[in-house]
Structures are given as structure tokens and as C-alpha cells.
Amino acid sequence: MDFSIENDFVKRAIKKDYQERIIFELQSQKHREKAIDRLSHSPETILKDVFTEYTVNDFSNVLGNINAKEKCYIISQNLHDGEELLLKDAIEYFRNSYTVVILITYNFFAIKAEVEKGSAPIWIYKF
């Protein structure tokens, strides 16, 4: 885990009233999943700005040209949690995962909600 990346994400993206709680939960092995759930199930409540909801299929259209060599940090309830991947690999994981995934780069973050079937809603914010 790289808590400096996660703290920076929280400071940039989360409303001030929720920042301390989310940071505590992300840094706690016992509570980490709760923070990830909050980000997935009620983003409009805790994120600083209003975000447009997209589907995974819209991802490339929204972000435009993606630098394939750029690194991306992942927060996830499953595989790759706390890891950095090449952005192209992270997007592939993002598209194919059925669990909550949060991608963080210097330029944007994206949150994908958990779904049992069908297309998951995603929220994208460009910094």
C-alpha cells in the first residue's frame, strides 16, 4: 500500500467532513473494505464534486487518448489492491472486474461500483 497516494487522493477528491474517516479506514486492515464500499455505494455523498455516471464502455471516450506507459494506483476489494499497474493494464482490470475498483492517476480518478451482472456504473473525475 502507498498511503501517500491514498491520502493525496482523499485530500483532492473527498469532502472535508469525510476525509479523516476515509483515511483512517483505508489505512486500517480491519476497516479498509468499509472505505472502499463508501466510495462505491455513495460517491455523490462523499466526493467533492458532482460526477457524471458512465458505463465501462464509455471509459475510453471520456478520457480520450490514454498514455499507455502511465502508471495507475489501484484501490480494490480484490486483486491488485494497493498496487501500481500500467494504465492500460489497470483499465483492462477495471473493465473486467465485478468488484469495486478505484483507479488513481495524477490526472484523474475513476470509481467502478460492484455489480453481480450487467454493466457497472462508473464515475470519472479529471483533476
Domain boundaries, the chain: 3-126
pLDDT recorded at residue 69: 77
Q: What average pLDDT score do residues 33-38 get? A: 90
Query: pLDDT-derived band of residue 60, with 50, 70 and 90 as boundaries?
Result: low
The reported pTM is 0.83
Task: Judge whether 102 and 110 are in contact, CB under 8 Å.
Answer: yes
Distances from the Cα of 74 to the Cα of 10, 17, 49, 80, 118, angstroms: 14, 24, 21, 6, 22
The rounded mean pLDDT for the chain is 83
Cell digits for 82? 494497493
Phi, psi of 71 (to 5 degrees): -90, 155
Average of per-residue pLDDT across 100-125: 79
What's the burial of 6, exposed, middle or buried (CB within 10 Å: 0-12/13-18/19+)?
A: buried
